[in-house]
Structure 1
Amino acid sequence: MSVTATWRRNLRRRTMTVGLCMTTLAFALFVVALMLGQAGLSPTEVLEALTGRGDRITNFVVLQNRLPRALAAALVGGCLGASGAVFQAVLRNPLASPDIIGVTSTAGTAGVVGVLLLGLSGLPLTLLVAVGGVVGAAIVAGLTWNRGLVGMRLVLVGIGVAAVATAFTSYLITTVDSREAAVAYTWLVGSLNGAGWPVVTVTAVVGILALVALALQARGLRALELGDATAAGLGFRVERTRILVMLTAVVLASVAVGAAGPVGFVALMAPQIARRLVGHASASPAAATAVGAALVIGADLIAQYAVSGVNLPVGVVTGALGAPYLAWLLARNDINRPGGRS
C-alpha cells in the first residue's frame, strides 16, 4: 500500500474517531440537559418519559420543557459547526465563518425587524430569519462577484455588509421602548429560551436536509480545498461547485440563527477544535458538526445552571469562551497561513 493511501486511511480513521467521541460527548450532555432543572430527574425517569411510560408531570417536564430546548441546542450547534467548516475550507481562511461574512448579521437584522416591527415569534420568526440570512449572503455575493467569488474580497465585503446590518439593527432598537429593546437584545445575543416544538421541527427538517446535501457535495468541497486549478483539473466546475457548497453553508447558518438568534463564535470555534483533534489542516464538516452540537449543549447547561436563579442567554457563554479563543488564534504566528498548522 502506498504512503498516500496509508495516510488517507489513517486520516479517515482519526476523523471517524473524533466524530464518534464528540457525538458521544454531545449525547451525554444531552441526557444531562434532560435530567437537570428545578425538578431533578434520574436517567431512568428520563427514559420512562421518552418512551411514554412516565407519570404526567415527568412527561410534561421532559417532553414539553427540556427536550425541545436540548434538541434545539444540538441542532443549532451542529448547523453552525458544519457551516463554519465549509466557510473555512472554501475560503481557506481559519477565521472565516458566517459571523464574519455577514450571514448572521443580516439574519439578525431580519429577526429584529420581525420582533419589533412585525410582532413575530416562534415559527414565523424562524422562517423570516432564515430568509434574511440567505438574502444577506446573496447581497454579499452580488457585490463580490467579478467573474467568480474571490475569498478575500468576499470576506471584506461581508464585513462591510455586516457592519451596515448591525448599524441598522442598532437604529431599530433605539426607536422602541426599553421592554421591546430588552427582548430584541436577548434574542440578538443568542437564546434558546423560546425553543418549542414548531421551531425545533423546522430547524431539524431544514438542517438535516442541508447536512445531507453537504455530504453529497463532499468530493467537491475536498477539491476546492486543494485550490481552483486542482479542482478544475479534477473535472469540477469550480464556481458552480463553490456557489452550491457555500449556499448550503448559508442555509445551515441561517436556520440556526432562526432557531436561537446569532449564537456567536460557535461557527468559528467548532471547526478549529475539530481540526486540532483530527490533526489535519482542514476540518471535516462531520466532525465539526459533532463538536458544534457538544459546544452549544454544554454552553446552554452553563447558561442555565452556572449562576443560581439566573438563566443567561446561551450566546453570553459562547461569547465568553469564543472571544479569548479568537484572540489566541490571532496571536498564533501561523494564523495567516491558509489552514494554519495542526
Structure 2
Amino acid sequence: MIFARFLLAGAMAIAGSPLLADPLPSWNDTDPKAALLTFVESVTDPASPEYVTPADRVAVFDNDGTLWAEQPVYFQFLYAMERIGELAESDPSILTSDTLKAAAEGNLEAALSGGEAALLEIVNVSHSGLSVDEFQDNVAGWLDTARHPVTGRPYRQMTYQPMLELLSYLRDEEFETYIVSGGGIHFVRAFAEEVYGIPPENVIGSAGKTRYAVIDDVPTILKDAGLAFIDDKEGKPVGIDTHIGKRPILVAGNSDGDFAMLEWATAGKGARLGVIVHHTDAAREWAYDRNSHVGQLARGLDEAPARGWLVVDMAQDWKSVWPGR
C-alpha cells in the first residue's frame, strides 16, 4: 500500500537525519508526519521513481475545518449575519422573513433552523449589491475587528498552525498551493494571501452571480443575488479541473464534502496523497465527525484506510493547534 511505503521510508529518513531542520515543528512525531515528509521527499527527489516535476506539484486544501476552524458554524455565515444587522439598521425593510430577522438579531440557532435555504437567503441578502472590491474590503474590515464567539480570538488567528507549516513546507519544495473551498470565492480571497500566503488566483470557491457594469465611469464587477457555482462535494473536482486543469498530487480536507475531491485526485497516475484532518481534540479545539452540523465526516473516515488516505488525529498528531500556542 502506498501509505505503508511512505510511512516506513519516512521513519527511516527521520531517524537517519537528526540534524535536519524540522519543517513541521508543530506536528508530533507520529505516523502522519512521517508519511507527509516521506511523500514530499519522494516526489521532489530527482533520483526517486516517484519524482514529480515542479510544474505538476499541485496541492489543494479545503479551508473550513482544514486550514481554519469551522465551529460553531462557518465563519462566513457569522459575517453574513453581522452584515444583515448592519444593513437592517439603515433599511429595516430588508428584513422580509423570520430568517433575516433572526440574523439581524444575532440569533444563530433561529437563523440556522431553516436549513440550507435559510443559509442561502442570508448569504444572498448580505453578499449582494456591492462591487467585488467593496465586498472584499468589507470582509477585511470585519476580520480586523470581529472575534470568535467561543475563543475570543481574531478570526485570522483561528487558523491551524500545523497546516500553516505544511503550506510553507510545500511551497519551499516547489509545490503550488491552492484553496478549494465550499465558502465564497470572494470571501476567501479577501484574506487568503495575508493569512495563508495563497494569492487570489489560487483560490477556488463557491460563486454568486456577478455582472460587469460601468458605474460613474468606473468599470466594475458587481455581486448580484443568486448562486452561479457551488464548490462543494462533486463540485470540488469540477472546480479544480476548471481553474487548474490538472489533478493535484496532494489534497487535504476534513469532511465528506471533500470526499469527491480526495477520490478524484488520488485516482490519478503516480504518487498521490490524500489527507483528512480529523477533529478529535475537544480540549484545544472541538471533537466532531459523523453527526456534526458542520464538517460531517463519515464516509471519508470509513474508507480512508482502504484508499490509503492519511487521517490526521488532531489530538494525537498535533503538538499545538493555534498560532502562538
In the superposition, the TM-score normalised over structure 2's length comes to 0.30
Q: Which has the higher contact order (CA 8 A, sep 6+)?
A: 1
Q: 1 or 2, which has the higher strand percentage?
A: 2
In the superposition, the TM-score normalised over structure 1's length comes to 0.29
